[in-house]
Amino acid sequence: MAVKETLLRVEHVGKEFHGNRVLKDINFNLNEGEILGLVGENGAGKSTLMNILFGMNVIAETGGYEGEIYFNGVKLNFKNPVEALNAGIGMVHQEFSLIPGFTVAENILLNMEKTKPSVISNIFGKKLETIDMPEIKKSADGAINLLGVKMDTDTLVSEMPVGHKQFIEIAREINRDKVKMIIMDEPTAVLTETEAEILLESLRKLAALGVAIIFISHRLREIINVCDKIVVLRDGIVVVDTPTKGTSIRQIATWMVGRDVEDKAEEVSEKTVYDESAEVIFEAKNLWVDMPGETIKNVNLKVRKGEILGIGGLAGQGKLGFPNGVMGLFPAGGKVFFEGKKLPLNNTLNALKSGIAFVSEDRRGVGLLLEEPIHWNIAFNAMQVQGKFIKKVLGVSFRDEKSMTAVSEKYIDELKIKCTSERQLVRQLSGGNQQKICLAKAFAMEPKLLFVSEPTRGIDVGAKTLVLNALRKYNEEYGTTIVIISSELEELRSISDRVAIVCEGKIFGILPPTADRAEFGLLMSGEYELDDKGEKKWIK
Amino acid sequence: MDKIKEFVKDFGIARLIIAAFLLLLFAVAPIFGVRLDTSISDVLTRFGMNAILVLSMIPMIQSGCGLNFGLPVGLIAGILGGVISLEFRLVGLAGILTAMLIGIVFATIFGFLYGELLNKIKGDEMIIATYVGFSAVFFMNMMWILLPFRNPSSVQGYKGEGLRTTISVEEYWFRAISNFGQIKVNKYLTIPTGMLLAFTIMALLVYFFFKTKLGTAITAVGSNPDYARAAGISINKMRTISVVLSTVIGAIGINMYQQSFGFIQLYNAPLAFAFPSVAAVLLGGASVNKASIMNVIVGTILFQGMLTMTPSVINNAINIDVSEVIRIVISNGMIVYALTRKVKK
Amino acid sequence: MKKDTNRYRKLLTGSVVPLMFLIISIISIPISNFSTDYLLNGIITRLARNSFLVLSLILPILAGMGINFGMVLGAMAGQIALIFVTDWGISGMGGLLLAAVLSMPISLLLGYFAGAVLNRAKGREMITSMILGFFVAGIYQFVLLYLCGPVIPFRSPNLILSRGYGVRNTVKLSTFGVLDNLIYLKIGNIGIPIATFIVIGLACLFIVWFRKTKLGHDMRAVGQGMGVSDNAGIPVEKTRIQSIIISTVLAGFGQIIYLQNIGTLNTYSGSEQAALFAAASLLVGGATVAKAGIPNAIIGTGLFHLMFLVMPAAGKYITGQAMIGEYFRTFISYGVVTLALILHAWKRQKDKDMDRESFRGNKDIIKEG
């Protein structure tokens, strides 16, 4: 085997966003022709690290990064992705970047088309050179063949199945003349088993040709199968940097979710003892939800009255699709029962009227009216759905500013929302306070069942504690059943009575919060499923 | 200092320039032999004539349907009301009120259809509204000829083949509202209290409407449709209601204009009202998805002020009639400016 | 199965408008009582006169900007050039070529301005270009009405209004019929301006060639996927502006060809309907707001003007009212554009919904689950 050159050297790289530290002292190397597997939970810093490597604008816009990165011996300082591309780094993102109306070949060679000069282009410039379609097709076919897939490059991308689109994306990256390293972000997420096999095989081929690959995946089995070395990120630091040989899946899972041995005991506030035989308030049978990026394929779940049920799982596995589908924000099907009665799906108003409330993970997009004042935001749902905060004058329902102000003051006080008054525009509040408004909006409806999605995402520690305590209080004092969906395992473990893990659109198991962390990691990676009796069903 | 900067940024440099320009015109008017009291009287009258038309922009802007370039649809409904009331030979307040009532009926029907159409093409409302307005006008052109109207003052020709291009309402309800309680200050200055009162009533109705539960929901739909959807609100229903409202107010508005102007204008006339009304509300500070009654008042005063003062002052000053061209440049420039403003996220 | 219904749906929405038009025209022809010679002459003349203008709309559609109602900016540039050429008394082909050359810098400037404005109004290009057209028309009127004479020197006093400044309302062009008569063929009673058609043919060749260049390919990419193109490093803003600039320049030439056929210029009211008629022609020929080709332009122009010719007479015969035919004609012209806009917008919404299905998380995978 030839001596491998060190292609990529990452030294003491760190990044913080507006005071929030996301990466700290990252160090690792990558050689030519090596495949590095990058593993980590949500929020571990994988995406940020990749954005830095690839020169995404968002990094430069938020103050750049610390540390140094050397690629091919040259210190990196990319200002945009095009510079990264020119230096030989390609990235296959999670979202497809394809033009449906173009053929496969045209997409593969997008902005890298082969052209022929002509008389006019010699006078007026390169942009007027003629496109050489036969050469383009040849080049595209070459890339596709290298991947080991069978595809007619003259077909329109719009007519291609999802798995093929993934290969087209990859083909585009490997077809660049100068490509030396490719970053792949969850490339097997949408592939069938056979397709995933083909993909892994093609990665091996690429590596043999000297291309270095950074491979991000939650499927630990794939990582073990194809990677030469593994880097595990946790809470923004590298916890493990090891050759794959000699590691096991269980080990990796533990690294992924574990904490240091000298961890302080978590602050788990006193909970009332949970009654296992309590009635079922909500049940989902064969639920599917079509939410782009968070699809649910088949969920069967019972929620017991008065409990706090946590739902966790890695990003993109479907946990966010669950509440969005139940609340009718995305198309859903299957059967759902609330308080014993069948609940029609795809009907937001009905769900709200029945006594279910939802705090969306998309705070700014769905949860708030940024251009309106606080008291509008808090009172709105209760006003529209339940007729609260209304005064009737001559039979017409007017919004009652007085009671809206009163209820807002109540929640501003309870949740310690920092604002100038209840009339302040929500747009001006900090993220944490905006989140509290979303909660207040849900609480104002006095729901029987509350879905909260990513309640503490992007807010500071103080607000986090407050939010979680508020949820606990509502659960204990008012008996509100709470289903909390979160990417932060620790958060779920500290507040929930039970924790369900979603993987690949299904519930892979429900564990008590005190269960061993490694078990959670394995469930999240889809290594085994737990059935109703708690029996493990290992995948392969 | 910061507060001033905030105000300037929000209000827009363009608007401030126009407001300053208008004040300047008023200031120099007497120098060029233009009486201030006549000017004020003219501006007030024109305000009364046009303000309701500009008011009709609010519901659709608030619900996120954009600028109502399809105003001609509502205007046609109003005009139908007018000519039909003439068929009944009604005079005075009774005449104008009947015209408005019939106009409201037609406007509700037209507005409903128009609203359903706009719901199917979310995102492209403005260009399609414009063309629907055009098509409606050109379709009605044929109808004005074919529909069986009989009143000899309305129809043209001896055999009564179709309606005239302009129909005088002098014998019917000319100035029925304008004259209502008007205050004659002196020979040159008359305050058209009737029209101003009518506008105040309409404005109050709109104001209170947006304070209702329904109005609140409509504002939310325009402010953030995803938010509204998550609250269980039917976006399509809210949009249709707002379109019907805008169309109805438009129908009332054109009748207000006509009773002051003295003529019902048919055929291509409705087309001339859409762009100026849009420009006026934008001039008053509205944006493509947010408009308030203050925007309507300020905008109509500024716009009609420009239209009144520019011919009288500038033409007298430099002896050249530049009013038409200035009107075109300012109103269209204002609209382009609003369309290219980045929407605050 | 799904693919087939999609294809049929696309075929249907693509053909509704031209089909409707064909039917209306076919019904009206016998009613109008025009002779075949008259009709053929009328169509050939109008094809020669208008095709170039229609062709100028193709590139912005390619680049995803929809119908470039701002082509009137180019028309105005052409008119200004012709006014000056007439003022300087230069006639013949020399005058025409000079006008064309003169119009280019004006078109370039206006086109660049329009493109920059449209880049700031992404998603609302059509309404913005329409109103921009009115705005610039106001400025054009201002320049011609007040600045010409005193500020901008004119040589021929008979082009200036009697009051001493401002261009006259109608200008007799020094280049009347110059291109048409260059090579004129008469077959029986039918006259064919060959030279003009050659020029139109050149424009078609240009468009065909341009589409195959890198710039043309980039425009297509930008038109179909702005975000994707941006990710791939294609200069989206610049490409869009370039499509508008080329369209404006072509519109300038097109208006010059149009006016040399008519012979007199209506200084202040000529160009308003230019964009509408050109757009209607293109749409009648089967183009959509998202896809337009040369056959659409040529066939559409022929069909549209056939209807235009025939409608008033037919209307008069059917209803006995002379005006009905004219009104119907105007209604149909606008109605065609309205229908095409609605179909396009409706389709855009449907496509957005369909896109979500093909995004990660296909429904098929779900059902198997």
pLDDT tens sequence across A329-381:
999 999 999 998 999 999 999 999 999 999 998 888 899 998 889 999 999 99
For range A268-274, the mean pLDDT: 45
Q: Which residue is listed with tokens 């009671």?
A: A403
Residue A268 lies in a domain: no
Cβ-defined contact of A110 to C215 (cutoff 8 Å)? no
Q: Is residue A304 part of a domain?
A: yes
Q: Contact, B326 vs B306, CB < 8 A?
A: yes
CA distance A431 to chain B (A): 15
Residues of C in contact with A102 (CB under 8 A): 220-221, 224-225
CATH code (residue B21): 1.10.3470
Residue that wins the pLDDT comparison between C316 and A155: A155
What is the domain extent for residue B148? 13-339
Predicted local confidence at residue C359, as pLDDT: 46
Q: How confident is the model at residue A259 (pLDDT cuts 50, 70, 90)?
A: low
How far is the alpha carbon of C304 from chain A, nearest alpha carbon, in Å? 29
For residues A85, A86, A88, A91, the Cα torsion angle rounded to the nearest 10 degrees is 0
Q: Is residue B4 part of a domain?
A: no
Residue C117 near chain B (CB below 8 Å): yes
The domain tally of chain C equals 1
The span from the CA of B164 to the CA of A528, in Å, is 83
* A chain contacts of residue B226, beta-carbon cutoff 8 Å: 362, 365-366
- Mean pLDDT, residues A8-21 taken together: 84
- Are A100 and C352 in contact by the 8 Å Cβ rule? The answer is no
Q: Which residue has the higher pLDDT, C173 or C59?
A: C59
Sorted by sequence, the CB contacts under 8 Å of residue B24 that are 6+ apart come out as none
Instruction: Please give the tally of structural domains in chain A.
Output: 3
A contact chains, 3+ CB pairs < 8 A:
B, C
The pLDDT value given to residue C4: 58
Test the C interface: residue of A78, A92, A99 with most C CBs within 10 Å: A99
**CB neighbour list of residue A434: distance below 8 Å, 6 or more residues apart:** A363, A364, A367, A368, A426
Classified as helix, coil or strand, B74 is: helix
CATH code for the domain in which residue A57 is found: 3.40.50.300
Q: Which residue of A has its CA nearest to B212?
A: A398
DSSP C323-347: HHHHHHHHHHHHHHHHHHHHHHHHH
CA distance C345 to chain B (A): 5
Note whether A152 and A245 are same-domain residues.
Answer: no
The pLDDT, as a whole number, for residue C209 is 92
Q: Determine the Cα–Cα distance for residues A290 and A454; give it in Å rounded to an integer.
A: 19
Q: Please give, rounded to a whole number of angstroms, the shortest distance from the CA of B261 to a CA of chain A.
A: 36
Q: Is residue C303 part of a domain?
A: yes
DSSP state of A274: P
B247 interfaces chain C, CB cutoff of 8 Å: no
Rounded to an integer, the average pLDDT of C121-125 is: 88
Does B231 reach chain A within 8 Å, measured CB to CB? yes
pLDDT mean over C295-323: 83
Strand residues in A166-278 grouped as ranges (E): 181-185, 212-216, 229-234, 237-243
Quote the minimal CA–CA distance from C77 to chain B in Å: 18
Asked if A401 and A514 sit in the same domain, the reply is yes
Confidence band for C341, pLDDT divided at 50, 70 and 90: confident
Nearest residue in chain B measured CA to CA from A438? B227
pLDDT recorded at residue B158? 56
Answer yes or no: is A269 within a domain: no
Q: How far apart are CA A438 and CA A441, in angstroms?
A: 5
A476-524 pLDDT, tens per residue? 888 899 999 998 888 898 899 999 999 988 998 888 888 888 888 888 8
Least Cα separation, residue A349 to chain B (angstroms): 4
Residue A466 confidence (pLDDT) above 90: no
**pLDDT at residue B52, rounded to an integer:** 94
Total domains present in chain B: 1
**Domain presence at residue A93:** no
Out of B121, B130, B325, the one facing C342 most closely (by C-beta) is: B121
Residue C73 in this model has a pLDDT that exceeds 90 = yes
Model confidence at C17: pLDDT above 80: no
Binned at pLDDT 50, 70 and 90, residue A108 comes out as very high
Residues from chain A contacting residue B236 (CB–CB below 8 Å): none
Gap from B161 CA to chain C (nearest CA, Å): 8
- Regarding whether A231 and A172 lie in a shared domain, the answer is no
Pair (A252, A291) in one structural domain: no
- Model-level pTM? 0.85
Interface list for chain C against chain A, based on CB atoms closer than 8 Å: 3, 209, 212-215, 217-218, 220-221, 224-225, 227-229, 231-234, 355-363, 365-367, 369
The alpha helices in C120-193, defined as continuous H runs, are: 125-142, 178-182
pLDDT of residue C283: 87
Contact C92, C181 (CB under 8 A): no
Pair (A77, A110) in one structural domain: no
Looking at residue C12, its pLDDT comes to 63
Say whether both A135 and A23 belong to one domain.
Answer: no
On the question of pLDDT at C113 being above 70, the answer is yes
CB of A388 within 8 Å of any CB in chain B? no
Chain A residues within 8 A of C227 when measuring between CB atoms: 97
CATH number of the CATH domain containing C316: 1.10.3470
Say if A189 is an interface residue toward chain C (CB within 8 Å).
yes
Instruction: Tell me what the mean pLDDT of segment A306-326 comes to.
Output: 90
> Contacts of residue B216 in chain A, CB cutoff 8 Å?
376, 380, 383-384, 399
Considering the domain architecture, whether residues A71 and A149 belong to the same structural domain is answered as no
Q: In whole angstroms, what is the distance from residue A318 CA to residue A503 CA? A: 7
Mutate to test the interface with A, among B63, B204, B210, B224 (most CBs of A within 10 A): B224
Q: Which residues of chain B have pLDDT under 50?
A: 344-345
pLDDT of residue A264: 38
Selected residue of C334, C339, C348 to mutate for chain B interface (largest B Cβ count, 10 A):
C334
B27 is a domain residue? yes
Q: How far is C174 from chain B (nearest CA, A)?
A: 28
Whether pLDDT at C365 is above 70? no
Amino acid letter for position C97:
L
Report the pLDDT value the prediction gives residue A102, as an integer from 0 to 100: 92
* Structure confidence by residue, pLDDT tens digits, A367-416: 999 888 999 999 999 999 998 888 888 888 898 889 999 999 999 988 88
User: Which chain B residues are within 8 Å of C135, Cβ to Cβ?
Assistant: 328-329, 332-333, 336
The mean of the pLDDT values for chain A is 86
Per the CB < 8 Å rule, is A399 touching B213? yes
Per the model's pLDDT, the better-predicted residue between A472 and C21 turns out to be A472
Same domain, A231 and A362: no
Residue A196 maps to a domain? no
Is A300 in the same domain as A382? yes
pLDDT band at C48 (very low <50, low <70, confident <90, very high): very high
Name chain C contacts of B161, Cβ cutoff 8 Å: 321
> Chain C: nearest CA to A288, how far in angstroms?
7
Residue of A nearest to C369 (CA): A297
Residue at A272 is within a domain: no
Q: Is residue B1 part of a domain?
A: no
**Cβ-Cβ contacts under 8 Å, B72 against chain C:** none
CB contact under 8 A, A110 and C221: yes
Q: Which residue of A has its CA nearest to B231?
A: A381
Q: Are residues A167 and A211 in the same domain?
A: no
Q: Report pLDDT for C64.
A: 92
Q: Residue A216: which domain range?
A: 7-88+178-190+206-258
A211 plus A343 within the same structural domain: no
What pLDDT is stored for residue B200 in this prediction? 94
What's the whole-number mean pLDDT along residues C192-213? 92
The mean pLDDT of A80-97, rounded to a whole number, is 84
Q: Is a pLDDT exceeding 80 seen at residue C80? A: yes
C111 in a structural domain: yes
- Grade residue A42 by pLDDT with cuts at 50, 70 and 90: confident
Nearest by CB: A369 against B224, B233, B344:
B224
Query: How high is the pLDDT of residue A360?
Result: 92
Same-domain pairing of A348 and A417: yes
A26-31 CB contacts, 8 Å cutoff, 24+ apart: A26/A67, A26/A233, A26/A237, A26/A238, A27/A238, A27/A241, A28/A231, A28/A238, A28/A241, A30/A6, A30/A181, A30/A212, A30/A214, A31/A4, A31/A5, A31/A6, A31/A7, A31/A212
In a domain, B79, yes or no: yes
Q: What is the pLDDT of residue C364?
A: 39
Cα nearest neighbour of B221 on chain A: A369
Closest residue, chain B, to C324 (C-alpha): B142
Domain residues for the domain of C68 are: 16-355
Q: Is C299's Cβ below 8 Å from some Cβ in B?
A: no
Do strands A308-312 and A237-243 pair parallel, antiparallel, or not at all (unpaired)? unpaired
